[in-house]
Chain A
Amino acid sequence: MDKKRNRLEIIKDILEVIRQKNGRIKPTHILYKSNLSYQMMDEYLSELLTKNFIKEGKLGKGKTYLITDKGINYLNQYRLISEFTESFGLNDD
């Protein structure tokens, strides 16, 4: 069984999914790839929008999410973030 992901890991996974889709993705694709319930995904997307890790865009009639420079920076520095928060016990949910 997979270890339960903490909040920072889930954020990383969502951003990684968006990055893999050339930086732009539909909400339903995030739902399939992120292994989250709709409610949880919605909660995380709101958090990511608030933190400016992603922004909303439009592709035709549908809504999409784009990863921002802050989001990319988060992914690039994720190892540092993860190691620091784990070492000092700041990532317990």
Chain B
Amino acid sequence: MTHLYLVPHWFFIYSIIFEAIFAIASGLISYFSFKVYNLSKQKESKWFGAGFFLISVSYVIWLIINLCLLRDNTQAVGSINLEQIVFWWTFAIYSHLILFVTGVITLICSHFKKNKLKLFALLEVISLVSIYLSCNKGLSFYVISSIFLAYLAIIYFLQYLKKRKFNSFLSMIAFILLFISHVQFILASNNYLYYVFGHIVEFMGYLLLISQLIIILKHG
């Protein structure tokens, strides 16, 4: 049996709210990134915006999945079991997984000046084939996305070492928190508390990203 995660009943409504916040936060970052692209025609901004757009859509799907599948759940701890749900929900869940991974890969590619498309294709194929062939797709999804988020955190860490600026530091901490949250989601298939902690840590990560956006808009 493949559990994506276990959800405590008392946390159900909070998880919906968190996922809505994540969708809005990543959507806002995407919006401003595309705005910067329209002004500067800088490709990196376009890729960055596309990445966060895909992530935002994946959160919307995740929110809808949780809302519909767990709405009538009366157990103390609910679960999403990939083998038991019907086709459309399977499609929705896989859409969430694919969109999120694709979004994070797009973010990684936005930091490369050359060979973006080649890198994107390589990472996309490796990730999706790994998830598809895995016996535990939920676990492989969270492991792969954790690795990519860790890589992004390292990119921002190296940028902070180079520039020593507060905004680079904030980005680094934000992506470290997103990485930690996904590690906790790996563990959430066995213990529902990790699902709770994962949401809280992820919220902190997005809070930092939105704070940066607010600072940028104030100065810009």
> Nearest chain B CB to A82's CB is how many angstroms away?
8
Q: In which size bucket is the chain A interface?
A: 20 to 34
For B48, what are the chain A residues with a Cβ–Cβ distance below 8 Å? 88, 90
Cα A35 to Cα B160 with chains together (Å): 28
Contact indicator A84/B36 (Cβ below 8 Å): yes
- Count contacts on B: residues with CB < 8 A to the other chain: 28
For B33, what are the chain A residues with a Cβ–Cβ distance below 8 Å? 84, 88
Task: Tell yes or no: B167 within 8 A of A by CB.
Answer: yes
Contact indicator B44/A90 (Cβ below 8 Å): yes
Contact indicator A90/B111 (Cβ below 8 Å): yes
Partner of B168, one of A79, A80, A89: A89
Contact indicator A89/B159 (Cβ below 8 Å): yes
Cα A91 to Cα B156 with chains together (Å): 12
Stretch of B3-11, B68-76, B79-87, B211-219 lying at the A interface? B211-219
> Nearest chain B CB to A73's CB is how many angstroms away?
6
Task: Tell yes or no: A92 within 8 A of B by CB.
Answer: yes
Contact indicator A90/B219 (Cβ below 8 Å): no
Task: Tell yes or no: A37 within 8 A of B by CB.
Answer: no
> Nearest chain A CB to B25's CB is how many angstroms away?
14
Contact indicator B39/A80 (Cβ below 8 Å): yes
Please classify the interface of chain A as helix (H, G, I), strand (E, B), loop, or mixed, using the class held by over half of its residues.
helix
> Nearest chain B CB to A47's CB is how many angstroms away?
9
Task: Tell yes or no: A93 within 8 A of B by CB.
Answer: yes
For A58, what are the chain B residues with a Cβ–Cβ distance below 8 Å? none
Shortest Cβ distance from A87 into B: residue? B167
For B212, what are the chain A residues with a Cβ–Cβ distance below 8 Å? 87-88
For B39, what are the chain A residues with a Cβ–Cβ distance below 8 Å? 73-74, 77, 80-81
Contact indicator A84/B32 (Cβ below 8 Å): yes
Contact indicator B220/A85 (Cβ below 8 Å): no
Cα A7 to Cα B43 with chains together (Å): 12
Shortest Cβ distance from B219 into A: residue? A83
Shortest Cβ distance from B216 into A: residue? A83
Report which residue of A80, A84, A85, A87 has the largest number of chain B beta carbons within 10 angstroms of its beta carbon: A84
Task: Tell yes or no: A51 within 8 A of B by CB.
Answer: yes
Shortest Cβ distance from B163 into A: residue? A86
Contact indicator B220/A77 (Cβ below 8 Å): yes
- Say whether, besides A8-B40, A8-B42, A73-B39, A88 and B171 are in contact (CB < 8 Å): yes
> Nearest chain A CB to B7's CB is how many angstroms away?
32
For A92, what are the chain B residues with a Cβ–Cβ distance below 8 Å? 111, 159
For A81, what are the chain B residues with a Cβ–Cβ distance below 8 Å? 36, 39-40, 42, 220
Nearest first, the 9 closest Cβ-Cβ pairs linking A and B are: A80-B220, A87-B167, A90-B44, A51-B41, A83-B216, A89-B159, A79-B220, A84-B36, A81-B40
Interface residues of A (CB under 8 A from B): 7-8, 11, 51, 73-74, 77, 79-93
Interface residues of B (CB under 8 A from A): 32-33, 36, 39-42, 44-45, 48, 110-111, 113, 155-156, 159, 163, 165, 167-168, 170-171, 212, 215-217, 219-220
